[in-house]
Every structure is written in structure tokens, then in C-alpha cells.
Amino acid sequence: MKLTQLLEVSKEMDREWPGLVSNYSKKLVEVYYKDGYWGKAKDELFTYITEYNRGDIEAFHDLKNRYDEEVWLRKREEVFNVLAEKRIDIKPLLAFEGLKDRLYDLLTTKINNDHGFAKFNIMEIGKYESVLRPEYNDKLLDLYVKLIWDTSEFAGGRPHYQEIVGFMRKIFDYPGGKERAKDMFERFQLRYSNRPAMMEELQVLYRDI
């Protein structure tokens, strides 16, 4: 039995074992390319990205290299649509493709729908800000400020307040960021004067504003 046939049969026999099927599929792509079956290789790679190892960046890059630019623009939309239907996060792929507008829209939609997850969303912005900047400097700064305020609404121990100060430092690098941090500092002092640990941590930040 040829290797391609063996891998195809193995995929079917072990379909209830996702890890094995993913490995078979990846190997099958390699063998198809090696044997000159370009169409089958690309079809299998598409399946690998959308079914077996959903959203895999390396495989996505490989698939992109197999198409000319015009065809790729259509094929990547197929990938996006299939993954979106399966509720797979496509933000890493949008970032890879440099699709800043769509990335920002998806990021903000997620943030607006994730009430109560301010800390997580701050970290989520951090994943993609290098792609979105400098075009989205003002909007990202606004998002950071909003989420820092959301985070501050919850009282906690000293590590919580140190984390808030760390988030405030993140915006120093943005145009007007230090001014926004100073404004937050002053408003925090008025609003949370009954939180001594928070006030102490903020004083550390104040020296750098």
C-alpha cells in the first residue's frame, strides 16, 4: 500500500483520536507535495487548518505560499469563514495578514462583549498592539484607559493594585499616554482614598509621570 493510501486509511480508522488524525493529515500534506499532487496537497492543508489544527499559523503561511496573490485573497476568506463559523479565534491570522481594520474591529467587539474580563482584555490588546500601531494609537489608548478603569472598580490586595499600576505604565509609550495616566492617578486618589495599599502603589507610579 502506498504511503498516501496508508495515511488516508489511518485518518479514517483513527478519526476518534484528533491528535493522531492531525499528525496523519500533516504528513499527508508533505507526501502529496513530494509526489507532485499539488491540488490534493492544498486541499488537505486547507482541511488541516480548518479542521484538525484549527487556525495554525505555520500551516496558514504554508498554504498562502502555494497560491498566487489574487487566488490567495479568495482562499484566505474561505479559511476565515470556516474558522469563524466554528468559533475559532482568527485574530492571529488577521494579524499575520496585516488586516488591521478587521483585527481592530474584532478585538473591540470581543472586548465590548466580555464584560467583567478587563484584565484579560488588556493582555489581549497587548498581543496585537504592535500590529495595530501607530495607526490605532488614539483608539488603543482609549481602550486601555477604559479597561484600567474597569479593573480599578474591584478592590483587592496589593498584587491587584500593582497590576493596575503596571497597566498604567503600559500607556506611557503612547502619545499623550503619560497625561492620561496622570489624570487617572489624580482621579484614583479622590475616588479610592480609602484603599491605602492602592494609594501606596500609585505613589510609586507618580514619580515617573
The answer to the question of residue 96 being in a domain is: no
Does 82 lie in the same domain as 107? Answer: no
Tell me the three state secondary structure of residue 85: helix
* Single-letter amino acid, residue 116: G
Residues 6+ away with beta carbon under 8 Å from 196 = none
pLDDT in tens, 17-42: 888 989 999 999 999 999 999 999 99
pLDDT band at 174 (very low <50, low <70, confident <90, very high): very high
Does 206 lie in the same domain as 117? Answer: yes
Q: What pTM value is reported for the model?
A: 0.88
- Above pLDDT 70, what percent of the chain? 99
* Cα-based angle 24, 22, 62 (whole degrees, multiple of 5): 90
Count of domains for the chain: 2
Single out the residue in 48, 63, 88 at which a domain terminates: 88
Structure confidence at residue 176 (pLDDT)? 97
The answer to the question of residue 76 being in a domain is: yes
Structure confidence at residue 21 (pLDDT)? 87
For the four alpha carbons of 200, 202, 205 and 209, in that order, the dihedral sign comes to negative
The answer to the question of residue 110 being in a domain is: yes
CB neighbours (10 Å) of residue 193?
10
Does 209 lie in the same domain as 131? Answer: yes
The answer to the question of residue 94 being in a domain is: no
Structure confidence at residue 184 (pLDDT)? 96
The answer to the question of residue 7 being in a domain is: yes
pLDDT band at 143 (very low <50, low <70, confident <90, very high): very high
Structure confidence at residue 146 (pLDDT)? 95
Structure confidence at residue 15 (pLDDT)? 78
The answer to the question of residue 95 being in a domain is: no
Does 156 lie in the same domain as 68? Answer: no
Single out the residue in 54, 88, 122 at which a domain terminates: 88
Does 181 lie in the same domain as 127? Answer: yes
Residue 14 has pLDDT above 90, yes or no: no
Query: What is the mean predicted confidence (pLDDT) over 36-57?
Result: 96
pLDDT band at 113 (very low <50, low <70, confident <90, very high): confident
pLDDT in tens, 149-165: 999 999 999 999 999 99
Structure confidence at residue 126 (pLDDT)? 95
Residue 105 has pLDDT above 80, yes or no: yes
pLDDT band at 139 (very low <50, low <70, confident <90, very high): very high
Does 126 lie in the same domain as 208? Answer: yes
Does 62 lie in the same domain as 155? Answer: no
Q: By residue range, what is the domain housing residue 59?
A: 1-88
Q: What is the mean pLDDT of the chain?
A: 93
Residues 6+ away with beta carbon under 8 Å from 124 = 107, 110, 111
pLDDT in tens, 66-100: 999 999 999 999 999 999 999 999 999 999 999 99
